[in-house]
Structure 1
Amino acid sequence: MKLFKQLLVAPAALGLLAPIAAGATEVNVAGVSDYANVSADAVAVDQVTSITQFSDVYPTDWAYQALSNLIERYGCVAGYPNGTYRGNRAMTRFEAAALLNACLDRVTEVTDELKRLMKEFEKELAIVKGRVDGLEARVGELEATQFSTTTKLKGKVDMVLGGISYGGDDGNAVNHGLGEGDKYVGQDAVTFNYTAQFDLNTSFTGKDLLYTRIKTGNFSKNFYGGDGNGQSDLADLSVGNSNGGTLKVDKIWYQFPIGSSFTAYVGPRIESYYMLGSTPSVYRQILKQFKLGGYYGAYGASTSAGAGLAWRQQKDNFSDPRFTVSTSYNASEGDHSCVRGKSCGGIGTNESSARWLTQIAYGSPQWNISAAYQYAQEGGFKGYGTPSGEKNAYWTGTGYSTTSYDSVNSVALRAWWQPTESGWMPSISAGWGLSSFSSNDDLTGAAGDASSTSQSWFVGLNWKDAFMKGNLLGAAIAQSHFTTQIEGSEYPDDGNYSMELYYQFQVTDNISVTPTIFYLSRPYGQLTGTSDKWGGKGAESFNMFGYLVQTTFRF
């Protein structure tokens, strides 16, 4: 039997390596002769561990890979004492029985080892099986109740408890549409408001996005909206919403890639900054006027019907600097058509109240610089400060004038840098902007066109992991749009400083609490003026101080 134990071949290769002799009595005489010629003291080779130990097996042989797998994986193949395999030699039934028995011995060894391991880890296997069964049940439940196979829902609720105090010569009687003696909104009153936001992110191809944002809130003039002259506008909170508790579609658009470098955007309610190639600021603001490094001028509010295209330079390394170029069009009157007796709106008309914004930027995930230009039609410019909204309000030296503009050209420069690791160095965001207003109305009463110029600037700092991991410290100072030049007038008399300081406690991964204070030195700008400009009804100075605690829940 020693001969047969030295010649072992796996059962799976029997049909491939050599044909079995047709009859039980057939014997390979040459093979028996070979073994007969081997001396009695010849030593058989050990079980082979590599196919290269066979001198007569070559890579060109048709069963080379099968034999190699049997040797390396299963270890049940041996050769003749002289180091040969003799793959073309016929096999007797006795030889087949011997090699089959050898491979079955190996299988038995593996089976016994598996049984031992299964018994040793019986408790652990039972726990794993229970977990798998539980996961299968949960997956089945989720599949049965899932909202959508294409849509993900994210939610956020902000609760704000706080108030505003007013100071200056006379905080009760600056006459800007208020009766003499009327109080400013929210004078020394504490309010408690909320905003709830639900984001629906839908993708049909894995690369596109249909974005729908549903929002509601009960903020009023204390922290949202204003009296029409910019006073409460500068105190707008970034999370503020004044839908009166009614759910409304706040944003809705569709974006999709064009090739590997372009992204297209189109929607009936989309804001221009969603279509930018690069973000102009990394500062996380509390007051809305600090958004985007200054939420006025070129980057002012623009939610309306619009479309845009962004190009991003492709680089192999994600951290390498790259160029981006983007352009977008928004029409404030894009959802309105002509009405009898009234002017037309629509898209692409002179009454669209449209804005065209183009941005060029260069940077990496750690830093970025950008320049933007915007052209706005009459009614299209939106901003914070003075002038604000659709009209310019100026003191002409002899009286107060509210003048409509025909068009606005705005430019904005932005830059930001953030450290690769959190520490004592904060992220820094800075911005500067200029807007030039053209008007057919003359501010001084003389014939001819009139124009004016306003500027703005901003600096914001954020310290990640300040004092404790996960928390955030923020501080910002800015001058929102303030008039620097009026054609034919020597009385721009403007300027308004805004400051905020906050500390965000990250209570859990989904809950944060942010105490904040802010100060507005001259929110009415040039409309504050001196008392003689208002016939004795005005105040020479006026300021606002706000305080709040914002609690945010994300789900």
Structure 2
Amino acid sequence: MNLSKKLLLALAGTSLAAPMAASAQELASLSGAAAINEYMQQQDVDRFRAWESKNQVTSVNQFSDVQPTDWAYQALSNLVEKYGCVAGYPNGTYKGGNAMTRYEAAALLNACLDRVTEVTDELQRLMEEFKAELATLRGRVDGLEKKVGKLEAQQFSTTTKLRGEASFIIGGLPNNDVNGANKTAFNYDVRLSFDTSYTGKDLLRTRLRSGNFESQPFGSSSQIFKLDKAESTDEQVIIDRLYYTFPVGKEIKLTAGALVRNTELVSFIPSAYKSSLLDFFQLAGASGTYNKATGAGFGFQWKQNVKKGNPFLTFDVNYISSSGYQDSTVGAFDSEGGINVLAQLGAKGQNWGVAFAYRYGSEGSRLRDPNFSATVGSGESSNSISIAGYWEPSDASWAPSISLGYGYNAGSGGFENSMSWMAGLQWSDVFQKGNSAGIALGQAPFTKDVQGSESWLWEFFYKFQVTDKISVTPAIFYASSYRQNDFGSTWGGVIQTTFRF
């Protein structure tokens, strides 16, 4: 076998590992978006280069799976010791039996050309044999370098990524008798998150938000049809999240921030029902426990470190001052500051999860109750508990995910001695891959001591995934014996279009 064939076969073993010769087939498929992603992961590249420098292969004997009796031993020895253009795998192996394409062979040949000082007849024949592939590879690399150069000149930040979401929501309640609020409303909600990481594992989140919802019919948390995305900023752009999360070891994360939400500081919400529509159904049937308290605070999260795919335990506890934290006459640690302490113990598998949670609320805190405003009064407090869980089919089929949740609220204030529950079914890949549909029913916190609080609530939706980033979700809602509709039933609907970028 001549030297050119030996050289090619020796190069084949580096088809997935040569640090200076990524697959030309992969380079040929890179788009602008992929180039951006590659550039934003520059820190990972830097760490790999540091590893490469520390673990530079200088002898063929460093490969545990290469023996002197191998037919290409001498050719490989020359590539490693004379030219230094073969690195092997991080585990110290060479894997000389791997297959490769002509483009991969050309890419690896190109990596060695920079190390060769003398162009021999054999090398010249190799260059002629792969002339077309080398030209394609170099053209792709040159184009990529230009794109990366442009990104470097126009980059926003090397550590910060922008994630955006804009929602258009049109809908109404045709038979809503409250102040004649039965016309069609067209609202928007926009969220821009600036996610910064300094180590690749920490997160500094700054989120801007703007929305133009009114209390009727979807904007107030005291309305039965309060939407998850319906908030009012008086059409101003505000900062509604500002916090920093960092890991401590492999199992613990700590968070502190001036604007943070308690439900975002638990490892998971124990529900697979994700319509992103009615607010109550996004809170595992326990809006008293998962009350979305937002303000100054901090949190502790523990997640059991297990082998990937195995079930694990979680424990979370957080403290939020929902009011008074800006006011030095009250203070973030005074009972008048709307203190919320939420703790959750959970267990989670690949397609199931269950959790028990408890929340304490001081005066000024709120039960997120669409039947009443439920703000805890002066000198009073509330205690809420919940248990919830879900199961999802391993593969999308006729079987839906099942979510169940129950909550109970007690204490000396707020909507005391009340209970709530929900059950939700959600199907994946309905009619078309990526689309989903669901139905949920339940009762927001109610008590038999208060007339009209035992309203039954239903939600039906179908989510059409237009693209990976655009979805359209029509939905219909129904509530029976609703207190704010003169104890009569009421219904409504929305079409929610969401753009993510």
TM-score range, shorter chain: 0.7 to 0.9
Q: 1:71 to 1:305 in 2, by over 3 A?
A: closer
Kindly provide the amino acid, as one letter, of the partner of residue 291 in structure 2: G
Q: Which residue of 1 aligns with 2:305?
A: 314
Q: Distance in 1 between matches of 2:443 and 2:253?
A: 34
Decide which of 394, 407, 423 is 1:433's aligned counterpart. 407
The residue number in structure 1 matching 2:433 is: 469
Q: Does 1:553 align with 2:492?
A: no
Alignment of 1:175-190 (within 5 A): 183-185=179-181, 187=182, 189-190=183-184
TM-score by length of 1: 0.66
Name the structure 2 match of 1:503: 462
CA change 1:71–1:197 in 2 (3 A) is: closer
Question: What does 1:405-424 align with in structure 2 at a 5 Å threshold?
Answer: 406-424=380-398
| Distance 1:517-1:114 versus aligned 2 partners, 3 A rule | same
| Distance of aligned partners of 1:258 and 1:411 in 2 relative to their CA distance in 1, 3 Å threshold | same
Does the 8 A contact of 2:208 with 2:240 survive in 1?
yes
Q: 1:295 to 1:196 in 2, by over 3 A?
A: farther
Whether the 8 Å CA contact 1:500–1:519 is kept in 2: the answer is yes
Write the distance in 2 (CA, Å) between the matches of 1:375 and 1:554.
35
- Spell out, residue by residue over 1:72-112, the C-alpha distance to the aligned partner (whole angstroms, 9 max, x if none): 31899xxxxxxxxxxxxxxxxxxxxxxxxxxxxx9855235
Which of the residues 131, 135, 143 maps onto 1:126?
135
Q: Pairwise mapping of residues 148-227 of structure 1 onto structure 2 (< 5 A)? A: 148-166=157-175, 171=177, 183-185=179-181, 187=182, 189-226=183-220
The answer for the alignment partner of 1:390 in structure 2 is 375
Tell me, in whole angstroms, the C-alpha distance in 2 between the residues paired with 1:239 and 1:309: 26
Q: CA separation of 1:355/1:554 partners in 2, compared to 1, >3 Å: closer, same or farther?
A: same
- Against the structure 1 CA distance between its residues 68 and 279, is the aligned structure 2 distance closer, same or farther, given a 3 Å change threshold? same
* Aligned match for 2:244, one of 254, 261, 267: 254
Partner of 2:325: 335
What is the 5 A alignment of 1:13-412?
72-73=74-75, 108=120, 110-118=122-130, 121-122=131-132, 124-166=133-175, 171=177, 183-185=179-181, 187=182, 189-226=183-220, 230=222, 233-285=223-275, 286-294=277-285, 296-315=287-306, 317-338=307-328, 344-390=329-375, 406-412=380-386
Give deviations 1:433-468, integer Å, cap 9, x for gaps.
Answer: 0001315xxxxxxxxxx9941000011121111111
Matched position secondary structure for 1:235? coil
The 5-angstrom pairing of residues 443-522 of structure 1 reads: 452-484=416-448, 486=449, 494-522=453-481
- Residue 267 to residue 313, structure 1, CA distance change in 2 (3 Å): same
Total equivalences in the alignment: 396
Question: How far, CA to CA, are the matches of 1:319 and 1:405 in structure 2?
Answer: 47
Q: Name segments (4+ residues, structure 1) moved above 6 Å.
A: 65-71
Is the 1:301–1:382 contact (alpha carbons within 8 Å) kept by the matching residues of 2? no
Give the secondary structure class of the aligned counterpart of 2:293: coil
Q: How far did 1:257 drift? A: 0.8
| Aligned partner of residue 175 in structure 2, secondary structure | strand
Give how far 1:66 is off.
10
Contact 2:367–2:415 (8 Å) recurs in 1: no
Shift of 1:385: 3.1
Change in CA separation of 1:409 and 1:131 when aligned onto 2, cut-off 3 Å:
same
The Cα offsets for residues 256-282 of structure 1, whole Å up to 9 and x where unpaired, read as 111111111111111111111333222
User: Structure 1: how far apart are the matches of 2:73 and 2:301?
Assistant: 59
Q: Which moved more, 1:133-142 or 1:216-225?
A: 216-225
CA shift for structure 1 position 497: 1.1
Measure, in 2, the Cα distance between the counterparts of 1:291 and 1:451.
Answer: 20
Over 3 Å counting, the alpha-carbon distance change for 1:280 and 1:192 in structure 2 is same
Matched AA of 2:283: L
Note the C-alpha offset of 1:248. Answer: 0.5
TM-score (ref. length: structure 2)? 0.73
If you compute each CA radius of gyration, which structure gives the higher value, 1 or 2? 1
Q: Secondary structure at the match of 2:268?
A: coil
SS in 1 for 2:151: helix
Change (3 A) 1:116 1:382: same
| AA of the residue aligned to 1:149 | T
Q: Equivalents in 2 of 1:125, 1:107: separation in Å?
A: 16
For residue 422 of structure 1, give the secondary structure of its aligned residue in structure 2: coil
1:455-492 CA-to-partner distances (Å, cap 9, x unmatched) read 000111211111110111121111001114x5xxxx65
One-letter amino acid of the counterpart of residue 493, structure 2: Y
Q: Is the 8 A contact 2:286 2:386 kept in 1?
A: no
Instruction: Report the alpha carbon displacement of residue 363 of structure 1 after superposing the two structures with TM.
Output: 1.9
3-state secondary structure, aligned to 2:145 = helix
One-letter identity of the residue aligned with 2:480: S
Following the alignment from structure 1 to structure 2, what is the Cα–Cα distance between the partners of residues 387 and 423?
Answer: 39
The unaligned stretches of length 5 or more in structure 2 are: 1-60, 62-66, 79-117
Aligned to 1:166, the other structure's residue is in SS state: coil
CA contact 2:271–2:284 (8 Å) conserved in 1: yes
Q: Unmatched 5+ residue regions in structure 1? A: 1-58, 60-64, 77-105, 173-182, 339-343, 392-402, 440-449, 529-538
Identity over aligned residues, as a percent?
35
- The 1:472–1:130 alpha-carbon spacing in structure 2 relative to 1, beyond 3 Å, is same
* Separation in structure 1 between the aligned mates of residue 401 and residue 69 of structure 2, nearest angstrom: 64
